[in-house]
Chain A
């Protein structure tokens, strides 16, 4: 069963996200807490920091020594299919900033890369924060890892930008009163609530739904949120099966056979990395997608890994509006980023982490520049925190903002059907849902919000 999207109502939109320059600025002025941040530094009159990046209007001394930035992601193991493009993007962004003189046009960034594929993730973090004395630690793809590390970051008062992990437990449970930890991408709420709203508004023919997710923090969290959102929204579907597969895993034959026997109309899956590659390859072989619409909320990077294995009509989300090709080639930054990445690495940035790396590094740089331009001094650690709270800027994926009172960026939910073309796989019939409908307000936890939708 492949039915076209038929969006109606107010919240599910077709085509390009509503994130053009003008709207982005207005939303920033309205909701991103500029006034609060400026007032706290004794100044007023801030605008989008993206416009202030090279202004240098602060006038105070800028440190001579380079800024030391640690970047952590999977550069080995099965998850490197995702981490490698992410790290490549980070490298490209930092090189670009340094070619223009660095932060504020003067302070270069010294980036060091670390593999997330280590057993002692907490010890690694402690070492980077204390012995190696990094100014900022950017990192984490695995939700399980960030849940271990985030409380340590707060304990050590170490500026930390979580660039990609999805679990909502990060700020709902592990660190409920964050100070030094920020996440510059949206949480799994975007994927799970987005998919539930997609079913409700755009796929009315779907009657039966199954889930297949990886058996660890991210997969469990995703399915829990999706299940609760379906119930809370009163979506008229029956959940016929929910499966959790070992992480990582290479043999999905029995899982696929089981899903084939329940024959759901729609499958929700947050699989990613090598697991997603194997699951999709084997599901194709076993005909699982013949009469089922699969929805991969975080697996669009597999398109870059196995383009020949991607049939038409699979729904891919990209944890926000991050996808190189399709209807969403809507903003000059997007086109520039995709082109630069393609030129540099001879492949497109299908992994949404590549976009998330851009967001994380620029969020940090913009927040430093914003604080400097407002206060006239290079910010201390705590001034940086104040500047990060409420940051908002244009990115390759549209306007990114961190609502005041939250340490978590919100992004729209974004889904589309795979559309194999001659030289690429694009997303077509794209659907996007505005951030307010897929992310909780800053004041309550994701679970509480979802249960009261």
Chain B
């Protein structure tokens, strides 16, 4: 009985953490781009499905081309390279191209106009993805199937979800190290405070802008790539992700890495426990949480920038 209860709790926590992982990878990018670049980019959420769709195509082609010839370890390594490196790299290039053409003209505008324009871009990106990958759900569960599941008294649990949690935790650690310990990270943080002062020192702030933008986009793409093997992509999900990414921003605070981590964990856990114990309130709980945080601390848990 106790073992069953503990097993249930472990599964709920794992569900919460894997949900938080996707939210973190998505929300951090949005938060960084707003915090560092002062650019409210709703279209950011569309890079997650883009990563997922691309991952699906690459996985399907890989499985079709090499099949079982590589063996467990060989295939696993190939999947990891594809999902952790190739997908974020390709999506970053797409993001970079879009930054130059679609986003750059919007930088000087008021937040409201940025919101409207980037919302339009997200719709166009959705349609573009529908055009390329079709309206039917796209799935590629080969990586998850390869890893299989482990057994608990309350059912089995996929190793892929555990891998997602571990990869995201190391990304969070790396980002933390980057911002706190490296020169570029510190310059980036300084830019968020006073970009003009930084540019007076001769630092090319435009190049740092681009780097932050690309890091954000590649995190979202990574989120999509890790998400795909346990679910499927359908058009329309980008808009759902926008809402969740926003929840991360509001709860954690704009532009705060610590806030993004905390908010993702809180939302992930609230969703996991909510859908387990009070499924009726699953959606409401996240918004309730947002409302409470905004009432108590309008800048979010760790945010200092006024919303």
Interface residues, chain A, with chain B CB atoms under 8 Å away? 75-78, 80-81, 84, 117, 215, 243-246, 248, 250-251, 253-258, 260-261, 263, 274, 277-278, 281-282, 285-288, 290, 304-306, 308-309
Contacts and interface: CB of A to CB of B under 8 A. Distances in A.
Contact of A248 (B4, B236, B275, B280): B236
Given A253-B19, A282-B231, 19 more contacts: A75-B135, A80-B135, A80-B136, A80-B235, A81-B234, A215-B280, A246-B283, A250-B237, A254-B274, A255-B275, A263-B155, A277-B234, A278-B231, A286-B158, A304-B136, A305-B136, A305-B232, A308-B141, A309-B139
Interface string B266-306: 00000111111001101100000000000000000000000
Given A250-B240, A260-B155, A274-B236, A76 B135 contact: yes
A99 B168 CA distance: 58
A260 B236 contact: no
Contacts of B19: 251, 253
10 contacts: A80-B234, A81-B136, A84-B135, A244-B280, A246-B282, A253-B19, A255-B279, A260-B11, A281-B230, A287-B156
A304 B15 CA distance: 28
B11 A257 contact: yes
A78 B158 contact: no
Given A251-B231, A277-B232, A281-B230, A261 B155 contact: yes
Contact of A253 (B15, B151, B235): B15
Interface string B207-219: 0000000000000
Contacts of B156: 286-287, 290
Interface residues of B, number: 41
Top 7 A-B residue pairs of the complex, sorted by shortest distance between their CB atoms: A260-B155, A287-B156, A274-B234, A254-B275, A80-B135, A77-B236, A253-B15
B155 A81 contact: no
Majority secondary structure of chain B interface residues (helix, strand, loop or mixed): helix
A411 B15 CA distance: 41
Nearest to A84: B135
Contacts of A260: 11, 154-155
B137 A76 contact: no
A84 B235 CA distance: 13
Contacts of B280: 215, 244
A254 B276 contact: yes
Contacts of B151: 287
Interface in B128-145: 130, 135-137, 139, 141, 144
A274 B271 contact: no
Contacts of B12: 254, 257
Given A244-B280, A261-B4, A287-B156, A282 B230 contact: yes
B130 A288 contact: no
B89 to A, nearest CB: 25
Given A253-B18, A286-B155, A76 B236 contact: yes
Contact of A245 (B136, B154, B160, B279): B279
B25 interface: no
Given A76-B130, A277-B137, A285-B149, A254 B231 contact: no
Nearest to B135: A80
Contacts of B160: 285
Interface string B155-197: 1111011000000000000000000000000000000000000
A251 B274 CA distance: 13
B259 to A, nearest CB: 22
Nearest to A280: B232
Nearest to B7: A261
B8 A261 contact: yes
Contacts of B8: 257, 261
Nearest to B22: A251
B237 to A, nearest CB: 6
A305 B235 CA distance: 14
A288 B155 contact: yes
Nearest to A273: B234
Nearest to A251: B19
Contacts of A309: 139, 141
Contacts of B157: 286
A78 B236 contact: yes
Contacts of A256: 155
Contacts of B230: 253, 281-282, 285
A253 B237 contact: no
A116 to B, nearest CB: 13
A359 B34 CA distance: 52
Nearest to B156: A287
Contacts of A75: 135
Nearest to A260: B155
Nearest to B237: A250
A253 B232 contact: no
Given A286-B149, A286-B156, A277 B139 contact: yes
Contacts of A248: 236, 240
Nearest to B15: A253
Given A254-B271, A255-B275, A78 B139 contact: no
A260 B12 CA distance: 12
Contacts of B232: 274, 277-278, 281, 305-306
Nearest to B154: A261
A250 B280 CA distance: 16
Given A243-B279, A261-B4, A285 B141 contact: yes
A78 B272 contact: no
Contacts of B11: 257, 260
B137 A81 contact: yes
Contact of A287 (B155, B234, B275): B155
A80 B157 CA distance: 30
Contacts of B275: 245, 254-255, 258
Given A251-B271, A257-B276, A77 B137 contact: no
Given A84-B135, A281-B141, A309-B139, A78 B235 contact: yes
Contact of B15 (A117, A257, A277): A257
A75 B136 CA distance: 10
A298 to B, nearest CB: 16
Nearest to B239: A77
Given A254-B276, A274-B236, A277-B232, A287 B149 contact: yes
B223 to A, nearest CB: 13
B19 to A, nearest CB: 6
A250 B11 CA distance: 18
B70 to A, nearest CB: 19
